[in-house]
Structure 1
Amino acid sequence: MCGVELTADRDGVLLPVHAQPGARRNGIVGVHAGRLKVAVTQAPEKGKANDAIIAVLADDLALKRSQISLASGPTNSRKVFRVRDLTVDELAERIASCLG
């Protein structure tokens, strides 16, 4: 549906993300190798880019920041975020509408 390989686990939905820190602007820019590509202007230092990615996901996917947490890849461009209180289908629908 949305091209992103979402996986349900016991605590929510795992959302694979390809991070692009140091970009010109913040936003979801597409899908890359089954991962949601998220660009942020923040530099990748001391977790600031991870916080910026959470903010972009919350804003663009109409989520609360408290619903999103980093599950793996804190220092890697290939990250996995956990989204709580949504099903795989609900999250896929929000991603698809965001991507247009």
Structure 2
Amino acid sequence: MISWHRFDSAGDLILQLHVQPGAKKTEVVGLYGDALKIKLAAPPIEGKANLILTKLLAERFTVPLKHVILVSGEHSRHKLVRIKQTNCDPESLLGE
């Protein structure tokens, strides 16, 4: 089974996400295949949804915004995100 999160050799957290922009509210939904599904209350226009996503992750993982890096999927629902220097357990997102 492939996990939706892992730590790389540098200790950074890597998240595999399935993002649904244009939702009524921003929320973590749960697992969606091998990704974590997140709904975003922002349109997928001019990077607005990506900005809301990075702000949400920075807040949830208690890191500065600059520590949340969109590795791939800038124009896709499927995204790979790197979070630097977090001590938070990624599984805690599922309990919300």
- TM-score, scaled to structure 2: 0.82
Asked if 1 retains the 8 angstrom alpha-carbon contact of 2:63 and 2:85, the reply is: no
CA-CA distance at 1:9 after TM superposition: 4.9
Q: Please identify runs of 4+ aligned residues in structure 1 that moved more than 4 A.
A: none
Which residue number in structure 2 is paired with residue 62 of structure 1? 62
Aligned 8 A contact 2:20 2:37 in 1: yes
**Larger RCO (CA within 8 A; separation ≥ 6):** 1
Give the 3-state SS of the residue equivalent to 1:6 in structure 2: strand
Q: Distance in 2 between matches of 1:69 and 1:11?
A: 14
Q: Do 1:5 and 1:34's aligned partners in 2 also have CA atoms closer than 8 Å? A: no
* TM superposition shift of 1:5: 3.5
Asked whether 1:82 is paired with 2:79, we answer no
Q: Paired residue for 1:96?
A: 91
Report how many residues are paired.
93
* Higher helix residue share: 1
Q: Once the 2 structures are TM-superposed, how far is the Cα of residue 27 of structure 1 from its aligned partner?
A: 1.9
Residue 34 in structure 1 maps to residue 34 in structure 2: yes
- Select between 27-36 and 3-12 the one with higher mean Cα deviation: 3-12
Q: Percent identity?
A: 27
1:4 deviation in Å? 2.1
